[in-house]
C-alpha cells in the first residue's frame, strides 16, 4: 500500500511509513480515549489555568492543542501526554527531567516552555509558546529542493538553537522537519523555531538509565534521522544531533531522504551499514557543488568521531560554505526555488555564526538575520574581520548635489560600503559596477572590496584612493555626489535610533551604535557617489530587517 502522506510504497501490514515515518492509517489507534475524541477536550480547562481551543497535532508522546492561558488571555500551545507516561515511574522521571531542562532554554530560535505539571485527573501537560507558521515538513513537501542559500540559512538557525541547548547539557534526540517551524514576520521569512525537545534528556544521565528506557520498548528518535549510535542504544552527545541535522540538510537540498526503505527495520539497517549517496549524485540535475557533499557526508559519518566535534563547529562550517558559494551557483538555485515573495535570508559569515552561539561571553551577540534578496548579489570571503556594530545611515539632508573630487568623496564611498557590509550580514561584498567610460578595462566588471582598508579609513578619518578599496576608478575622473540619505533608508535610520535608545541592550552596545551614527553623519556631509545609491538602498532594506529582528530579540519598545 502507499502512504497517504508521501505516497511511498509500504508493506500491506505496515503501521508506519518507512519513508516519512507517519501512520499509514488516518485512524491509527491510541490508548488515550480522550485523544481519540477531540471534541471532548475542546473547552476543557487544564490545571485550572489553560482552556483547550483546538487540536494542532499528535506525536509519539501525546497531542498538542491550541489553548488560552486564562489569567493572561494569551494564546499558547499545550501538550497533553498519553496516560501511560504517568503510569510508569521510569517514564514519569523522563517527563520531569525533560520539562525542567527544556524550560531553562531561552534562545530566539527555540520555542519557549512556560509551565508543566499534572492535571487533577493525572494527565501530564506542558504549556509552551504558540508559534504561528508552517512546519519545515510542509515547506519541504511544497517547495523542495531548496536553493543552497536558503537551506543553509535554515540549518544555521537550527544549529544555533541546538548549540544553546547543548551548552546546557540538553540533546534534542528527535530533530526532524516536524520539529522545526518556519515563521514569517513582516517582510522576513524563514525565521526558524525549534520545538518539541520531547524526548530530550540531560546528557549526564548514566548509560544504565538510557538502556533501561530503551529496553522499556521506547525508541528515542525518528528512524529517518536517527544516528547509528542512537539506533544501537549507545551513549549519545551533541554529535547525534549533528547527524540528524545533516540528514535534514540533505533532504532540504535534494527533496529526498538520505535513506529510503519500505520498512522501519530496513531503514535503520541502512543508517547503520549503507554508504550515503552524495547529494550531488542523488540529484544530478541540480549541479550541486562538491563542498556541500563534503559538509553533509561529514555530518552523517557513521562514527561520531568523524563528524564535526560540536554543533557549533558544524554551524561554522555551514557559514563558511555559505559565504564561499560562487555567484552562479547562488543565482541559479535562487531563481529556481525561491518563492514568489522574492525575499531570502541574509547570508551570515563564520564570524556572524559565532556570535549566534552561546559559547562566548560576548554580550552583544546577534542572531541569524533575514532580509530582502538583492538582485544578482556576489559574495566573497572578507579579507579582515568585519566591524562589530552596524553603521547606520542618517536622515536625508537638503544639501544639493554637485561634482567633486578628492578624499571627501572617497571617504563617503568607504562609509557607504561599510553600510552595505554590515547590512548584508557581514560578508565581503563584491560591487558590480557599470561602465561609464569608453574602455571596459578602465571602468567596469567587479571588484572585491578590501574591508580591512575600509575599516582603517573609517578609523583614521582620511579617505584612501578609491583604488585602495578595490574599486577601479579612471584617472582624473569625477562623479556626481549626493548629500544625505535617500528617503528609502528612513526606516533603517529609525531602527538604529530605537536600538541606540533601547535600555534593554548593553550600555556598551548602545554607545557603539551612537558613535557609529555620529560617524555616519560626518561622512554624509562629504557626500556619496550617485552611482552607489542603488546598492545603498538595498543595504538599507536588508539592514532594516536585521535591526527589526534585533529589536524584537532584545524586547526593545
Known catalytic membership, residue 121: no
Q: Residue 473 burial (CB < 10 Å; 0-12/13-18/19+)?
A: buried
How far is residue 519's CA from residue 521's CA, in Å, rounded to a whole number?
Answer: 5
How far is residue 64's CA from residue 111's CA, in Å, rounded to a whole number?
Answer: 14
**For residue 87, how far is the Cα from the chain centroid?**
38
DSSP string, 262-328: SSHHHHHHHHHHPPPPPHHHH-GGG---HHHHHHHHHHT-SSGGGS-SSHHHHHHHHHHHHHH--HH
How far is residue 449's CA from residue 428's CA, in Å, rounded to a whole number?
Answer: 7
- Which among 249, 131, 105, 112 has a CA at the least distance from the CA of 183? 131
Contact call for residues 339 and 142 (beta carbons, < 8 A): no
Beta bridge partners of 80: 63, 125
Distant-in-sequence, close-in-space partners of 397: CB < 8 Å, separation ≥ 6: 483, 484, 485, 524, 525
CA distances from 60 to 28, 55, 236, 470 (A): 12, 15, 20, 57
How far is residue 466's CA from residue 494's CA, in Å, rounded to a whole number?
Answer: 30
DSSP string, 152-164: HHHHHHHHHHHHH
Three cell numbers, residue 238: 551533541
How far is residue 379's CA from residue 369's CA, in Å, rounded to a whole number?
Answer: 17
Contact call for residues 397 and 453 (beta carbons, < 8 A): no
Q: Measured between alpha carbons, how far apart are the two ends of the chain, in Å?
A: 55
Contact call for residues 230 and 214 (beta carbons, < 8 A): no
What is the CB neighbour count within 10 angstroms for residue 104?
A: 11
Task: Report the run of H or E that residue 62 belongs to, with start and end.
Answer: strand 62-69
Give me the residue label for grid cell 571602468. 443
Q: What radius of gyration, in Å, describes the C-alpha atoms of the chain?
A: 26
Q: Identify the active-site residue in 174, 178, 190, 241.
A: 174
Annotated catalytic sites, by residue?
A: 174
Amino acid at each position: 500500500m502507499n502512504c497517504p502522506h508521501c505516497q511511498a510504497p509500504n508493506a500491506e501490514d505496515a503501521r508506519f511509513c518507512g519513508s516519512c515515518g507517519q501512520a499509514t492509517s488516518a485512524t491509527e489507534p491510541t490508548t488515550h480515549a480522550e485523544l481519540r475524541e477531540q471534541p471532548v477536550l475542546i473547552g476543557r480547562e487544564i490545571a485550572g489555568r489553560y482552556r483547550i481551543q483546538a487540536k494542532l497535532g499528535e506525536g509519539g508522546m501525546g497531542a498538542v492543542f491550541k489553548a488560552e492561558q486564562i489569567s493572561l488571555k494569551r494564546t499558547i500551545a499545550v501538550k497533553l501526554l498519553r496516560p501511560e507516561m504517568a503510569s510508569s515511574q521510569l517514564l514519569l522521571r523522563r517527563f520531569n527531567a525533560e520539562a525542567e531542562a527544556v524550560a531553562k532554554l531561552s534562545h530566539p530560535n527555540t520555542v519557549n516552555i512556560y509551565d508543566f505539571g499534572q492535571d487533577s485527573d493525572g494527565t501530564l501537560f506542558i504549556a509552551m509558546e504558540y508559534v504561528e507558521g508552517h512546519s519545515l515538513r510542509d515547506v519541504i513537501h511544497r517547495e523542495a529542493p531548496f536553493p543552497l542559500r536558503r537551506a543553509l540559512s535554515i540549518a544555521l538557525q537550527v544549529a544555533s538553537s541546538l548549540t544553546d541547548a547543548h551548552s546546557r547539557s540538553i540533546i534534542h534526540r528527535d530533530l526532524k522537519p516536524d520539529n522545526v517551524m518556519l515563521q514569517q514576520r513582516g517582510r522576513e521569512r524563514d525565521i526558524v523555531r525549534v520545538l518539541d525537545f520531547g524526548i530530550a534528556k540531560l546528557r549526564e544521565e548514566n548509560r544504565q538509565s538510557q538502556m533501561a528506557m530503551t529496553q522499556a520498548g521506547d525508541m528515542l528518535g525518528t528512524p529517518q534521522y536517527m544516528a547509528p549510535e542512537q539506533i544501537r542504544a549507545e551513549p549519545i552527545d551533541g554529535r547525534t544531533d549533528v547527524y540528524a541535522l545533516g540528514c535534514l540538510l540533505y533532504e532540504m537540498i535534494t527533496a529526498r531522504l538520505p535513506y529510503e526503505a519500505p520498512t522501519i527495520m530496513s531503514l535503520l539497517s541502512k543508517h547503520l551499514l549503507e554508504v550515503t549517496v552524495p547529494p550531488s549524485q542523488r540529484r544530478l540535475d541540480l549541479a550541486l557543488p562538491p563542498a556541500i557533499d563534503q559538509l553533509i557526508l561529514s555530518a552523517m559519518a557513521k562514527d561520531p568521531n568523524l563528524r564535526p566535534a560540536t554543533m557549533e563547529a558544524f554551524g561554522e562550517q555551514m557559514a563558511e560554505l555559505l559565504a564561499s558559494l560562487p555567484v552562479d551557483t547562488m543565482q541559479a538555485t535562487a531563481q529556481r526555488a525561491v518563492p514568489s515573495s522574492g525575499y531570502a535570508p541574509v547570508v551570515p559569515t563564520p564570524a556572524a555564526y559565532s556570535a549566534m552561539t552561546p559559547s562566548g561571553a560576548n554580550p552583544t551577540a546577534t542572531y541569524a538575520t533575514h532580509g530582502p534578496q538583492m538582485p544578482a548579489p556576489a559574495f566573497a570571503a572578507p579579507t579582515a574581520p568585519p566591524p562589530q556594530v552596524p553603521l547606520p545611515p542618517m536622515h536625508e539632508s537638503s544639501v544639493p548635489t554637485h561634482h567633486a573630487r578628492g578624499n571627501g568623496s572617497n571617504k563617503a564611498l568607504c562609509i557607504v560600503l561599510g553600510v552595505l557590509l554590515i547590512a548584508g550580514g557581514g560578508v565581503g561584498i563584491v560591487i558590480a559596477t557599470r561602465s561609464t567610460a569608453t574602455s571596459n578595462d578602465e571602468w567596469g566588471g567587479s571588484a572585491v572590496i578590501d574591508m580591512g582598508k575600509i575599516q582603517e579609513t573609517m578609523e583614521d578619518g582620511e579617505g584612501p584612493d578609491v583604488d585602495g578599496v578595490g574599486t577601479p576608478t579612471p584617472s582624473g575622473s569625477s562623479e556626481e555626489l549626493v548629500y544625505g540619505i535617500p528617503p528609502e533608508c528612513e526606516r533603517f535610520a529609525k531602527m538604529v535610533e530605537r536600538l541606540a535608545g533601547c535600555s534593554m541592550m548593553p550600555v556598551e552596545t548602545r554607545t557603539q551604535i551612537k558613535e557609529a551614527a555620529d560617524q555616519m553623519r560626518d561622512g554624509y556631509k562629504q557626500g556619496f557617489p550617485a552611482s552607489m545609491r542603488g546598492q545603498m538602498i538595498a543595504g538599507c532594506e536588508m539592514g532594516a530587517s536585521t535591526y527589526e529582528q534585533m529589536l524584537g530579540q532584545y524586547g526593545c519598545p
